[in-house]
Structure 1
Amino acid sequence: MGQRAAIYCRVSTADQSCERQERDLTSFAERAGYTIAGVYKETSSGAKLDRAERKKVMALAQARGIDLVLVTELSRWGRSTIDLLNTLRELESRKVSVIAMSGMTFDLASPHGRMLATFLSGIAEFERDLISERVKSGLAAAKARGRRLGRQPGQRPKSDRLAPKVLALIAEGRSYRWIARDLAISKNTVADIAKRYRESKCARA
């Protein structure tokens, strides 16, 4: 039996299809003599954090259910250089390689793979520096325009949004603990809303 491969396909928008990627990767696997352990397809932008199908592939690797992950290109798998490097290292710890259809194999146990990892680490560090620089630059520009950054004193977006519902439940005789559990907020938040309501009522009296 050949090496077990998980086929991973991803498109960025709902009007695109994974059909071509699946067809090309299936043919690639058959030519290479790989046994297809599963086909995983999803629609997700490159920056989106929650990729349910990719998580399934990672779980399969953790369970020693595959030897390889097949992708048409690395941009289909990694969200960024940092993410790519981290997932490659995690897969390598499970003895699983990532192979792109170009024939490029990322096996960090090999000398070639370690060289690529060193190269990717440099790019990842560069990316982190760029992101940090952009954030700092953006904050400085916003500050220069007179914009106040962060949550301002007295601002409680979630608390203020839920206040009417909290007060209605209190009026129904519900306990603070019950309200907190029902609305997925802390008991202290419920108490704070009730306290502000009492204070505002006294101020109007």
Structure 2
Amino acid sequence: MDKTRRAAIYMRVARAPRAWIYCRTAEPNAFALKIQQEELTAFAEKNHYDIVGCTSRHEAGTTMTRPGLAEITNAALQGKMDILLVLNASRLGRDIWNTLEYVGWLEKHKVEVVCLNGDFSVRGVRQFPLAKQTVV
């Protein structure tokens, strides 16, 4: 293995995880968005994450088609992040099935969703298709 390739592999392994912060409120509330962003930033700094982006929006969580999630989706497709930080799962969406489906999609694109309140884990998302089949 040549030196350039070895150095590139080392840099990928040795770098801090890249985190994207996502804050959302349904109604215009600059204070609530600011508080979310401060908590998520503090968490990222405490865990030595490299903050590479932040999406902060006033938009309803009833649909998964919204500008804030489109920004996150594009960043994930471009490989810009390793972790998506959210305060809780309801910030991503209000419909649990759609939210879990989106989290699963992010996982397939090598993005781990971290909820500060511990709403869900990767293991729970992997079991999502089985749970949905049982309910339907």
Q: TM-score, normalised by structure 1?
A: 0.53
Percent identity over the alignment is: 27
Q: Are 2:136 and 1:95 aligned?
A: no
- Structure (1 or 2) with the greater strand fraction: 2
Per-residue deviation, 1:46: 2.0
* Mapping 1:1-205, distance limit 5 Å: 1-15=15-29, 17-103=32-118, 106-107=121-122, 113=123, 115-118=124-127, 122=131, 126=135
- Contact 1:5–1:38 (8 Å) recurs in 2: yes
Count, aligned residues: 121
Larger radius of gyration: 1
Letter in structure 2 aligned against 1:118 = Q
Extract unaligned runs of 5+ from structure 2: 1-14
Extract unaligned runs of 5+ from structure 1: 108-112, 130-205
Q: TM-score, normalised by structure 2?
A: 0.77
- Structure (1 or 2) with the greater helix fraction: 1
Letter in structure 1 aligned against 2:94 = R
- Contact 1:97–1:105 (8 Å) recurs in 2: no
Per-residue deviation, 1:102: 2.4
Distance in 1 (CA, whole Å) between partners of 2:66 and 2:95 is 14
* C-alpha distance 116-94 of structure 1, shift in aligned 2 (>3 A): closer
Which whole-Å deviations, capped at 9, do the CAs of 1:116-160 have from their partners, x for residues lacking one? 44257526864xx5xxxxxxxxxxxxxxxxxxxxxxxxxxxxxxx
Measured on the aligned residues, the alpha-carbon RMSD in Å equals: 2.3
